[in-house]
């Protein structure tokens, strides 16, 4: 199952890449939502080998997910792999500079079941794909607008 969202962002490609690899901010956001997140590496800068373990409750059951950064090609994009007990996922963020101040971001998420319960989960997602795709695209759009707002806020403060 695949989800794709594309957004044009009024920001330079380097700023968009920096926001997409600001993993500390993502970690804090997940912690605020009740997800336990733990880094599994000791890298100081984003790059292949970065990893996380996350624990959370979904549909009334505890879940665990392992996430690894597979590729980081500044400023063109990155690729992450996630694995849980029944589903394997891969997220690709591709960035294209449309102009010095405009970037197109395409975020693709591919989910593949690995077990029978995973197949059942992915099948139930297929049935709700329209609403899930709408939520996914809304999340990517929100992230794009946050990048623009951060950049505008920094410009307003002179930095």
Residue-level pLDDT, tens digit, the chain, 159 residues? 999 999 999 999 999 999 999 999 999 999 999 999 999 999 988 899 999 999 999 878 899 999 999 999 999 999 999 999 899 999 999 999 999 999 999 999 999 999 999 999 999 999 999 999 999 999 999 999 999 999 888 765 544
List the structure tokens of 128: 């709700």
Q: Residue 119: its pLDDT value, please?
A: 96
- Give the CA count within 13 Å in the CB-facing half-sphere of 14: 1
- pTM for the model: 0.91
Cβ atoms of 52 and 67 closer than 8 Å: yes
Q: Residue 46: its pLDDT value, please?
A: 87
Q: Residue 156: its pLDDT value, please?
A: 55
Query: Which CATH number, 3.40.50.2000, 3.40.50.150, 3.40.50.1000, 3.30.530.20, labels domain 2-156?
Result: 3.30.530.20
**109 SS3 class:** strand
For the chain, give every domain's residue range.
2-156
Q: Residue 159: its pLDDT value, please?
A: 47
DSSP, residue by residue, 5-29: EEEEESS-HHHHHHHHT-HHHHHHH
């Amino acid at each position: 199952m695949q989800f794709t969202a594309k957004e044009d962002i009024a920001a330079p490609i380097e700023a968009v890449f920096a926001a997409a690899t600001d993993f500390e901010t993502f970690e804090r956001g997940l912690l605020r939502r009740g997800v336990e997140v733990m880094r599994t590496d000791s890298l100081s800068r984003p790059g292949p080998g970065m990893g996380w373990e996350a624990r959370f409750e979904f549909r009334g059951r505890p879940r665990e997910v392992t996430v690894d950064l597979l590729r980081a090609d500044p400023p063109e994009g990155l690729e992450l792999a996630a694995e849980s007990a029944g589903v394997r996922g891969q997220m690709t963020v591709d960035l294209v500079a449309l102009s010095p101040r405009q970037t197109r971001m395409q975020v693709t998420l591919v989910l593949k079941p690995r077990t029978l319960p995973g197949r059942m989960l992915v099948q139930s997602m297929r049935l709700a794909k329209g609403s899930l795709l709408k939520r996914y695209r809304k999340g990517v759009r929100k992230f794009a607008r946050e990048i623009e707002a951060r950049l505008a806020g920094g410009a307003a403060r002179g930095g």
